Structure 1
Amino acid sequence: MHTKKALVNELQALGISPGDKLLVHSSYKAVGQFEGGPVGLVQALMSYFNEGLLILPTHTWGKINQENPLFDPATEPACVGILPNIFMAQAGVLRSLHPTHSVAAFGAGAESFVAGEELIDTPCGRQGCWGKLLDMEAKILFLGATLKSNTFIHGVEEWNDIPKRLTDERELLQIKLPTGIIQSPQHRHIGDVSQHYDKLYEPFIAHQLIRQGSIGKASSSVIEAKPVYELVSALLRREPDLFTDDQAIPVSWY
């Protein structure tokens, strides 16, 4: 049985401090048994970040679309695992209003972090939460997850205007607010280039941009948003179609 005390030691070994701003991509199944189950793990993470900002993706792109256009942030479940769904139900956690790529946040600055997502019309707008990760120099933890789940890289591609990543037309989506329903036309991702994001491991290791360890039974790693943005942007300027295949990135490029 994995314990809260062990979790604290593992987070510290990964270079994660209670005052950090941290986004977590997660696989609870990979962790193994944790005291209190998945709820216990979520609450342990919230307790650790008593001075910082804890963020989990609560994406709904798997269900919210042109045929099912209404996003209700109060009730719509996330399509990215059990921990995000438990997290956004905890007291003090705030969910952003993006209809397909929302996040939930807890801690210092959570309200300002999630604010304004209803104004974003792309999955990872530069002025939205994913861009704010860059501005605040956040860390990103892959807790039993791989770089294939790295939504931040979708943002890097979007901010570098990589062609054929977003639809030209916008789907007519909606957001349910306490005051009524608002319209939220959205460009959507084309294809699934994220399946090739794990080709970034070698460049990250070469530039010492990734720290690896474990949480419970889960192989885990941490990256920092700003240096990752800078390296990936440089690679994309050299090859905009970098993530359209699984070919290794030539060492000479980085």
Structure 2
Amino acid sequence: MHTKQTLLRDLENMRIDPRGTLFVHSSYKAIGPVEGGPDTVLDALTEYMQDGLLALPAHTWSYINGSNPRFNVQDSATCVGILTELFRKRPGVLRSLHPTHSVCALGRDAADFIAGNELCDTPCGRQSSYGKLLDREATILFIGVDLCKNTFIHGVEEWNDIPNRLTDRIMPYVIELPDGSEISAPSRKHCGELWSYYFWKVNDLFIREGIMYTGHFGYADTRVTNAATTNELLSRMLKADPELFSTNEPLARVGD
């Protein structure tokens, strides 16, 4: 049975910077039995990052769309796991205003981190929280999930103008604020979720290049990456091959 203390030790063993910015993708089930359940997991992450910034995705892309364009900041549930849904409801946690790719943050500079997402007309614009992960050289932690869940790579593709990643159609999203007021937030969408299925192909390369390492959080296999080095490597690769993530073919190894 995992406890808050054992999970704190796992974070320390993974060399997570407690004063930095940590963005977490997660599968609660992969962690195994935890004393106190998912709240204990969030307690451990929050305590470990108490002198830094903890952020999780709060996406709603699975159901906020052209036929259901109204995003309620306070009530719209996340579609990316139980930890994200419980985290967004915690006292002190702030949620950004992007209608499909909002994030939640707690800790140092949280308000700045989430600010302005409603002004972005794409899911992961350079001025969004995903761009701020790059600016902060944030750590991205994958608990029990692989790189196919790495939303940051969508951002890298956007910033490098990779074709066929965004719809031409602009969706007429509306953001409903807690005070009852509304904001118009027209935005394009990702062209399906197919491309992210191919993000796996850089897993081994990331490890060989030293920009990702692995560990454990509870029973979950984990991956730890850095936003800045991820962007640097992938931007070079995408400039050389804009179709890098357009197929499921594995990368060719040098010398093969």
TM range (shorter): over 0.9
Structure 1 position 114 matched with structure 2 position 114:
yes
Question: Which residue does the alignment assign to 1:211?
Answer: 213
Following superposition, the deviation at residue 250 of structure 1 comes to: 2.0
For the aligned residue pairs, the C-alpha RMSD in angstroms reads 1.1
Task: Report how many aligned residue pairs link the two structures.
Answer: 253
Cα displacement string for residues 27-62 of structure 1 (whole angstroms, at most 9, x for unaligned residues): 000001112100111122111111000000000000
Question: Which residue does the alignment assign to 2:41?
Answer: 41
Following superposition, the deviation at residue 179 of structure 1 comes to: 5.2
Cα displacement string for residues 148-181 of structure 1 (whole angstroms, at most 9, x for unaligned residues): 0000000000000001100112011110122511
- State which drifts further: 239-248 or 98-107: 239-248
For 2:27, the aligned partner's letter is S
User: Where in structure 1 do 4 or more consecutive aligned residues deviate above 6 Å?
Assistant: none
Question: Retained in 2: the 8 A contact 1:213–1:221?
Answer: yes
Following superposition, the deviation at residue 251 of structure 1 comes to: 2.8
CA distance in 2, matches of 1:135, 1:198: 24
Question: Which residue does the alignment assign to 1:143?
Answer: 143
CA distance in 1, matches of 2:196, 2:254: 23
Any gaps of 5 or more consecutive residues in structure 2?
A: none
CA distance in 2, matches of 1:9, 1:210: 20
Cα displacement string for residues 163-216 of structure 1 (whole angstroms, at most 9, x for unaligned residues): 110011201111012251111111000132000001111210111111101111
Residues 1-254 of structure 1: pairs in structure 2 closer than 5 A: 1-177=1-177, 178=179, 180-191=181-192, 192-252=194-254
Question: Retained in 2: the 8 A contact 1:11–1:17?
Answer: no
Any gaps of 5 or more consecutive residues in structure 1?
A: none
Cα displacement string for residues 51-91 of structure 1 (whole angstroms, at most 9, x for unaligned residues): 00000000000010111110001000000000000001111
CA distance in 2, matches of 1:36, 1:22: 23
- State which drifts further: 237-246 or 173-182: 173-182
* TM-score normalised by L of structure 1: 0.97
CA distance in 1, matches of 2:121, 2:75: 21
3-state SS of the aligned residue for 1:36?
A: coil
Cα displacement string for residues 102-126 of structure 1 (whole angstroms, at most 9, x for unaligned residues): 0000000001100111111100000
3-state SS of the aligned residue for 1:243?
A: coil
3-state SS of the aligned residue for 1:185?
A: coil
Percent identical:
48
Following superposition, the deviation at residue 10 of structure 1 comes to: 1.1
